[in-house]
Amino acid sequence: MSEKTTYAIACPVCGQIQMISADSSLTEAEQRQQALLACNCSDGVNARRAKQRAEKAKENINILFEGDGEIIIDALSNIVPAIANNTFAKVSITTEAGIKATLTAKEQSIKVERTEKKTAALES
């Protein structure tokens, strides 16, 4: 079991000191990230919102693509941080089975969409 330590860390954006209680094995980069997430500066608030959007999007990916295999869930989950941080506005992936996954950045959320096209044709 790891021990908890209280860190006094400056927000990497505004410099305000944040008191963080976390696992004693946090790296310096993880400590700075925790300070940013705890800070009330505008970048700290935006970082918290992006993290919440990403967590919710990953939950939705797991729900919508549960039976489609881990590879699509992993691929989409790995793209989510870039969508949450507004690096990408929209990403679509189409599987060999014809399932289309689309992640779209919205103002307050990330839309996760699953489209499955089924075509039937007969010829004589």
pLDDT of residue 105: 95
Residue by residue, pLDDT tens for the chain (124 residues) are 568 889 899 998 899 999 988 888 889 899 888 998 899 999 999 888 999 999 999 999 999 999 888 999 999 999 999 999 889 999 999 988 889 999 999 988 999 999 988 777 888 7
Compute the chain's Rg from CA coordinates.
Answer: 20
Which contacts (CB < 8 Å, 24+ apart) does range 40-47 have?
40/16, 41/11, 41/13, 41/14, 41/16, 43/11, 43/13, 43/14, 44/11, 44/13, 44/14
Per-residue confidence (pLDDT) for residue 88, from 0 to 100: 95
* Predicted pLDDT at 39: 92
In this prediction, residue 2 carries a pLDDT of 67
Residue found under tokens 């006094």:
8
What pLDDT is recorded for position 91?
96
